[in-house]
Every structure is written in structure tokens, then in C-alpha cells.
Amino acid sequence: MAAAQPEAQPSSFWQVLEEQVLEEHPDVPRDQLLPWEAWERKHRKRSCDEATTSEPGAGSNGGGGSIAEPFWDALEASLRAEHPHLAREELLPWLKLPRQRRQPAAAAPSAAAPPPPDDTDNGGDSDYEAIGSEEDEAFVAGSSDSTRAGTQPRAAIVPLPDTSGNRWASRNKHKWQCQSTTTKTAPATNLFLADELDKLAAHYKAVGNDEWRYFAFSKQAKKLRDLTWEVTDAKQLLSVRSFGQKSVDKIAELLATGALRRLETMQSTDRAQALAELTKVHGVGCKIASDWYAKGITSVEAAVQSGLMTATQRVGARFYKDLQVRIPRAEVTAIVDAVRVALRATLGARGVPAHAIDGAGDATASGSYRRGKPSSGDVDVLLCRRDGGSDEGLIEQILEYMKAAGVSVHHLTHEEEVQRGRAQRSVRTATCSSYRGIIRLPGYELHRRLDLKLYPPEDFAYALLYFTGSDHFNRSMRHYAKTLGYSLSDHGIVHAVKMAGGKDNCVRGTKNLFEARTEQEIFEKLGLQYVEPSQRNTDVVPIGDAPRRLQ
DNA sequence: GGGCTGTACTG
DNA sequence: CAGTACA
DNA sequence: GCCC
């Protein structure tokens, strides 16, 4: 590209990233927060001239504070082709990107959100029962939000009517899990029991291929974490909805002996162990693992050698060990920021002038990070282009940018061979584009799962609600909407009418019934109380220790 | 005896 | 279409 | 596995 105006030194990808990360985690030691600094120093020493063909993922960060030269050349050339008449500064506006903070949307992971009041126990009875708060409490409008909001006031939101026959659901809102608030701390005994039930659930899902037992057990596990009182006698749970006699028996055994005979037996079989191992690979579920096992494959290594893997599975297998390790919050921040910086550069590359980049799109950390958790299993970033420009190919371009800046990137979806195979289905058919991949920032030890989802602005609030989770929370809220006669998804709320007879009993509308600008508005439209992201969790901190025999 | 959330991507 | 994955 |  050639270095025009060297003194107006553009802030490089890494410089921008560094500023953002430091700002967000003033408390974490610098070298821990910015491991790529060492990497950068090393690469700066090596001259910038060996920087040509980089094997994927090993791009070199040329000196001089800009990203790898080939990237710039290619980028400028392609831009030039698109906009032959633009002046260079117009073409590459990010060169003089102001060092401002980006979107408000990223703020408010709200780990610090005030805990809700509360409150009374309840022996609870209901599906998805809650520990819940007053139904009638006034809806607080200006509560700190996270969704990026219209600022204009809008007319009062009239909740959708409950079209069900008996109206049980809407009269018992507080009994739904999506209206509960997560218990922050819970008796260690309950957490022990919950962990055991989760193991049982995991077994039924991965080995038993029994989705519904999985659902039942993991729901019970979540409820145990939410209980405010300690389970001392399994029979206490009979009064809690979703615990039946069989589960109570299991819990009685756990309380008495500290283990479940049945679980141990089930887990000890060769088949169970093999499936547990094989299903760790991304793209391998119970069915495929079973097929492989039937062919004598009992390890990931053997599966790789068998030649039976798809492209996605091969990538998954390559990194499956790294991916078992949780990601500290500060590293999640760094990865999200990297995506955000790349997004801004990409928008710049598409002709958005520097002063408009802030409003032209955003990258919002979602998932467990937004729920305030100290570590995450993967990194979820919600993308949105807001200036009316095309977002076609945006994800691919962001990833290319990061690659060129030296980030190691491996695709699970959008794999090149895959894309070629499916001929130009270039126009995406769905209204949401959904990427899964594996990345590693330079200087970091481990590869991490990255999920990107790109939505049109009108879907943003619904998408954020979905992508923030948790799993149980989403299912509960959607189930609630369904009970009222609607269907809630990451795109909106539509009518869902139960038809008599037929197996496929539900007829769904296509027209979104409500254009929500914020998450709050969605809750309100469904007649529910707003729940902060940090209160949509499943995990809990123990109070004290479980009795010794249970550890 | 059937429902238990709704959507995207792969092959 | 079935299988897997995402929250 | 639980609930209607």
C-alpha cells in the first residue's frame, strides 16, 4: 500500500485493542491483559519484509503500527475497484480513526447490577417456578439498559392478550423461570445435588440420546441452584414442581451415600466413555458418535484417522482439547474488542466516513459474558449494521481483517471448501447470519470458540435477548409466550395458534407483532417484569460446604 | 398419551 | 431431511 | 423424567 502520511500514524489494530482492553479492566495486571505485546515486540524485530505469505493464522504484524502489508494492499486494491474516484483518505478512513470508545451497547455486563429484592422462599409449585418477586411491582422505566435504545419516548406498550383458554400462565407469571431472579448464593448441599443431576442430564443427552430426560434433569438442577433453603430431606422436593418420585429417590440416595450407583454404572461402560470423549468434538453428537463406536472407534484420535470426519469435525478435533478450558472474563473482553475493532475497520473499508463509524454498526458481547459471569465457555458477539448499508459478507470481511492482523482463525461454519461446494448461495436465505469458529489472539495460549451473529437492526432487541440467554431462561420465556398463543424468537413475536388434531399442531404467523427497540419492551409486551442479564443465570456461589460425605 | 423453544448451518 | 449446534 |  505504501505509507502515506507516516506521521499521522494510524492506530493499529493492536493499539486500538490495547486501549479498549485497558480501559475495561483497570484492575488486571498489564502483562496478563495484553499478552500479545510480547508477541508484537518479537514480530517487530523480525523485519517487516518476510511478511508475505502467511500461513493461515500466522499473519505478521508488520512494524510501523499497521497490520500486515499484503492485507492492506489487497484491501486497498479491492476498495479502489469499488470506488475508483474516491480520494485515498476517503477510501481508507480508518487510518485516522479517532480513538474513541465504541458503542454503549457493549457496556453494562452489569455484574454490578443491584441484586433484586427478595425474598420469600416458596416451596414452589409450577413449571419453571420462581423464587419470585411481586408481580405487581411497578415497572421501572429508566433502569440501566443495555440494549441500545431509541431515545424517543414511545406510546405506552399494551401487553399482548393471553389467548389461552384458562389463562393459567398469565395469572401465574411469577412461577415461570424467566421471571425468577437467580440466587446468587445457595447452600453447598443443593449445589452438590445440582451438579450430580447435571451429570445425569449430560449422560442422557450424549449417551442415552434422550433429550427429554436431559431436559428434566437439567431443569431440576437449575431449580436446586435457585432454592433458598437447604435440602436436608429429599422428600422436601416433592412439593417443588418438576421433581417427581423418581428424582426424589435419586436425591435421597445422593444425600445418603454421596453418589448415584446407577450413574456410576452407566458411566463406567466402554461405550459411555467413548461417547463422552467423541462428543467433545464440535459437530459430533450422540448419533455420529454411536455410529463411529459401532465401527470400533473409541477415541478422537482414532476418529481422525478413520477419515470419516467432515471438514467441520476435523477443525473441531484439532482444537478440542483447548476448547474444554473456560475463558477468563478479561480474555473474553479482548476477543470481543478485537472483533469490534475489525468491524470498524471493515465499515471504514466499505466507505463509511470516520465520523460516522460509531453509529454505523456495533459488536455487542452477549452470552454468559453479558450475564456477568467471571468466565465463559465461548465468546458470543452480536453484530449489527445500522446505517442502512449492506451487511452482505460483513462477517467474512471481519474475519479476514483479524487474520491479516495476526489472529489465528479457523472456521467451523463458512469453511471455504464448504462454501465452494454449495455454489453461490451467496445471498443468505435466513434473516440472520450465524458464524462459528475458533480463534486465538497472538500471545495467548489457547484457542477459543467464537460465535458471531449478524442481524438487521429491527431484530436487534430480540436477538440480544436470545443471544444473552441463558438456555433455560430462553426456553422458559419462549414457552411462556407460546402458552399465551404466541411464538417468541430472535426475530420477533408472531402468532402461534394450536390447531386441533394433527401432529404438527402449531400454525405460526409470519408478521412480527411488535417492533421492540429494547429488551425491556419485549418483556413489557409479554406482560412480564424485566429481568437483568445478571439475573438470567444458572450458576450460583455456594454458601459454606456441603457435608463431608457429599464432596 | 403427547408436550416439553425456536432458529441456522451442514451434507 | 436428520443431525448438530446456539442461547 | 415430569406434567397435563
For residue A505, count CB atoms less than 10 angstroms from its CB and return exposed for 0-12, middle for 13-18, buried for 19 or more: exposed
Cell reading at A85:
474516484
Q: Determine the nucleotide nearest to A125 by Cα–C1' distance.
A: D3
Catalytic-residue membership of A321: no
Q: Could you tell me the distance in Å between the CA of residue A436 and the C1' of nucleotide C2?
A: 20
Q: Could you tell me the distance in Å between the CA of residue A180 and the C1' of nucleotide D1?
A: 23
The pLDDT tens digits of the residues spanning A50-98 come to: 433 333 333 333 333 344 444 455 556 655 655 566 666 655 544 443 3
pLDDT of residue A91: 55
Nucleotide C4, nearest residue via CA and C1':
A283
Q: Determine the nucleotide nearest to A288 by Cα–C1' distance.
A: C3
Set out the domains of chain A in order of their start, with CATH numbers. 12-139 (no CATH), 165-180+473-535 (3.30.210.10), 184-324 (1.10.150.110), 327-455 (3.30.460.10)
CB A311 under 7 Å to nucleic chain B: yes
Q: Measured between alpha carbons, how far is residue A155 from residues A150, A404, A491, A525, A533 in Å?
A: 13, 47, 22, 12, 25
CB A503 under 7 Å to nucleic chain B: yes
What is the C-alpha separation between A271 and A292, in angstroms, rounded? Answer: 11
Nucleotide D3, nearest residue via CA and C1':
A242
Beta-carbon contacts of A340 under 8 Å, excluding residues fewer than 6 positions away, are: A20, A102, A103, A106, A362, A363, A381
Q: Determine the nucleotide nearest to A166 by Cα–C1' distance.
A: D4
Beta-carbon contacts of A373 under 8 Å, excluding residues fewer than 6 positions away, are: A329, A537, A539
CB A100 under 7 Å to nucleic chain B: no
Q: Which residue has the cell 415461570?
A: A176
Strand C positions closer than 7 A to protein CB:
2-7
Are β-strands A486-488 and A408-411 bridged in parallel, bridged antiparallel, or unpaired?
Answer: unpaired
Cβ atoms of A481 and A526 closer than 8 Å: yes
What is the C-alpha separation between A173 and A136, in angstroms, rounded? Answer: 10
Kindly report whether the peptide bond that precedes residue A470 is cis, defined as omega within 30 degrees of 0.
yes
What is the C-alpha separation between A258 and A332, in angstroms, rounded? Answer: 36
pLDDT of residue A89: 60
pLDDT of residue A339: 96
pLDDT of residue A506: 75
Q: Could you tell me the distance in Å between the CA of residue A460 and the C1' of nucleotide C7?
A: 14
Strand D positions closer than 7 A to protein CB:
1-4
What is the C-alpha separation between A15 and A243, in angstroms, rounded? Answer: 53
Residues of chain A with pLDDT under 70: 1-11, 44-152, 416-428, 499-505, 539-542
Q: Determine the nucleotide nearest to A200 by Cα–C1' distance.
A: D1
> Hey, what amino acid is at A464?
L
pLDDT of residue A77: 62
Q: Determine the nucleotide nearest to A126 by Cα–C1' distance.
A: D3
Cell reading at A189:
448441599
Which residue in A219, A250, A403, A525 is the catalytic one?
Answer: A250
Q: Which of A525, A529, A534, A470 is nearest to A179 (CA)?
A: A529
Q: Which three-class secondary structure string do you get for A94-106?
A: HHHCCCCCCCHHH
What is the C-alpha separation between A16 and A269, in angstroms, rounded? Answer: 52
CB A495 under 7 Å to nucleic chain B: no
Q: Could you tell me where the DSSP H helices lie in A388-454?
A: 394-404, 416-421
Phi, psi of A493 (to 5 degrees): -120, 125
Nucleotide B5, nearest residue via CA and C1':
A475
Q: Could you tell me the distance in Å between the CA of residue A517 and the C1' of nucleotide B7?
A: 21
The pLDDT tens digits of the residues spanning A188-246 come to: 999 999 999 999 999 999 999 999 999 999 999 999 988 889 999 999 999 999 999 99
Q: Could you tell me the distance in Å between the CA of residue A280 and the C1' of nucleotide B10?
A: 18
